[in-house]
Structure 1
C-alpha cells in the first residue's frame, strides 16, 4: 500500500533538486559566463535604442542634433545604464553581501561567487560594446585616453571573471562608475544649451564631490588595502599581481588628471556666477 505523499515535503524535495541542478550544471558551466557577456552587449543595444526613442519623443532639441551628436547622446544613455547597474552591484558585493568579509576563512584575493562572476560578465559585454563604438567612430566618442581606460578595464574584468582572483579590488574600482551619470548629464545639459542654468552648476558641484570620493579617496583606500593584505595579493598568479598593482595606479593617475580639469571647470563656473 502506497503511503500518502506530504505536499510540503515534496515541494521541498523538488526545490532542493532544482538548486542542485542550478549549481552543479547551469551556473558551473562556463557557457553561462559567455551568456552574461552577450547579455551585457544586448543590454547596451537595448539601452542605446531606448535612449533614442525616449529622446525623440520627450526632448524637442534631439531632432536638431547632428548625426554624430545623436550617436554620442545615445551612447551616453547606454553608458549611464551600465554605470547605474555596476555601481549598485559593486556596492552590494563589496559592502553588503559578506563575500569579502574579514570573518570568512581563506585569502580575500581568491573569493568569488556565481553572482560576482555573472556581474563581471555583463560588465565585460558593456566594455566590448563601448570599445567597438569608440573604435568605429574614433575619435568622435573619445580619444586615446578613453581607449586606454576601456582596454585596461576590459583586461582586468575579464581576468577576474575567468580566474576568480582579485575580484574585491575590481569591484572597488568599478564603484568609480558612480561618477558616469553625472558626467553624461553635464554633456546633455551642454548640448541642450543649458550651461548657464542652475542645474549645470549643481551638476558641477555633484561631479566634484562624487569624483573626489569615488575616484580619489576610494582609490587611496584601495592602495592601502592592497598594502596591508599584500601577503594575500602575492599568492595570486603573476598576471593577477601585475594587474592589481599596475592597473589601479594607471587609472588613479588618469583620474587625478581628469579631477584637476573638473576642479578648474567648477572654479570657472563659480567665478562667472559670482560676476553675474
Structure 2
C-alpha cells in the first residue's frame, strides 16, 4: 500500500470519526454556548440541529478546500480528466467520511431526519467519488462538483432561524434567504453550463475514451441525477425566497401606510 492510499484511507476514517464526535458531543456543547435557546429545544429538534451543525462544518471544510484546488492546483487544472489527484483525493476522502457518517445518522434517526432524497444524493455522490479515490481519474471535475456544498451553510442557517423562532420577516432571516438563493444558484445551477460544455468538448477524445464505457456512463449519469435534484431544490428555494420578499414588501408597505395615517 503506497503512501497516497494510506493518506486517503486514514483521512476517510478520521473524517468519519470527527463528524460522529461533532454530532454526539461537540455540537450540543458548542450550541448551548452560542444560543441559550438550544437547551429548550425538543429532543427531536436537537437531533436535527446537531445534524445540521455537522453539515455546515463539512460544507465549509470541503467547500473552501475545493475552491483552493479549483483555482490553484495546477496539476488538476492542466488535465481535468487525468491530472494528479493527490489533493483532490484528500478532499473527497473528507467528503466521503462525512457522507457515510450522515447516512448512518439518517438510518439511526430516520423518524426525525430521514429523507430519501438525501440517501439518494449521498449514495450517488459516494459512487461517483470512488472513481477518483480508486482510479485517480476525473479529479478536477470531482472536486468541482464539491463546490455545491458551499450553499449548505445558508440552507442550514434558515433552519436554525426557524428552530429559534426568528420572525420570518426579520432582517437576518430575509438576508440569509436571499444569500441562500443566490449562492445556491451560483454553485449548483450556474456551474452546469461550463461543466456540461466541458463534457461535450472532450467527448470522443483519446483522454475521454481511456476512461472506459462504464466510467463514462457513470460519470455523466451521476452528474445528471445530482443536477436534476439541484434543479428541484432550486425551484423550491426560489419560490420560498420570492414569497418571503413579496410578503416582506407588503408588510413594510402596510406599516408605512399605518404610520402615515397615525401622523
Q: Same fold (TM over 0.5)?
A: yes
1:228 aligns to 2:185 (yes or no): no
Between 1:121-130 and 1:93-102, the stretch displaced more is: 93-102
How far the C-alpha of 1:220 sits from its partner, in A, is 2.1
Equivalent position to 2:6, from 16, 21, 31: 31
Contact 1:219/1:248, CA 8 A, preserved across alignment: no
1:180 corresponds to which residue? 152
The secondary structure found in structure 2 opposite 1:111 is coil
Contact 1:169/1:244, CA 8 A, preserved across alignment: no
Contact 2:76/2:85, CA 8 A, preserved across alignment: no
1:158 aligns to 2:130 (yes or no): yes
How far the C-alpha of 1:26 sits from its partner, in A, is 6.0
Contact 1:208/1:263, CA 8 A, preserved across alignment: yes
How far the C-alpha of 1:200 sits from its partner, in A, is 0.6
Alignment deviations for residues 69-124 of structure 1 (CA, whole Å, 9 cap, x no partner): 1011111111111101111111111221112234xxxx531223332222221211
Contact 2:80/2:141, CA 8 A, preserved across alignment: no
Q: How does 1:33-182 map to 2 (within 5 A)?
A: 33-48=8-23, 49-102=25-78, 108-182=80-154
1:270 aligns to 2:242 (yes or no): no
Contact 2:91/2:143, CA 8 A, preserved across alignment: no
Cα distance change on mapping 1:240 and 1:50 into 2, 3 Å: same
How far the C-alpha of 1:241 sits from its partner, in A, is 1.0
The secondary structure found in structure 1 opposite 2:112 is coil
Q: Which runs of 5+ in 1 are unaligned?
A: 1-24
Q: How many residues align?
A: 247
Q: CA RMSD in A?
A: 1.6
How far the C-alpha of 1:159 sits from its partner, in A, is 2.2
Report the Cα distance in structure 1 between the residues aligned to 2:2 and 2:134, rounded to whole angstroms.
Answer: 16
How far the C-alpha of 1:139 sits from its partner, in A, is 4.5
Between 1:114-123 and 1:184-193, the stretch displaced more is: 114-123
2:259 corresponds to which residue? none
Q: Which runs of 5+ in 2 are unaligned?
A: 252-263
TM-score (norm 2): 0.89
Cα distance change on mapping 1:77 and 1:221 into 2, 3 Å: same
How far the C-alpha of 1:260 sits from its partner, in A, is 0.6
2:175 corresponds to which residue? 202
How far the C-alpha of 1:154 sits from its partner, in A, is 1.1
Cα distance change on mapping 1:140 and 1:112 into 2, 3 Å: farther
Alignment deviations for residues 1-36 of structure 1 (CA, whole Å, 9 cap, x no partner): xxxxxxxxxxxxxxxxxxxxxxxx8624x3332211
Instruction: Please identify the structure whose Cα radius of gyration is greater.
Output: 1
The secondary structure found in structure 2 opposite 1:110 is coil
| Greater share of residues in helix | 2
How far the C-alpha of 1:238 sits from its partner, in A, is 3.0
The secondary structure found in structure 1 opposite 2:54 is helix
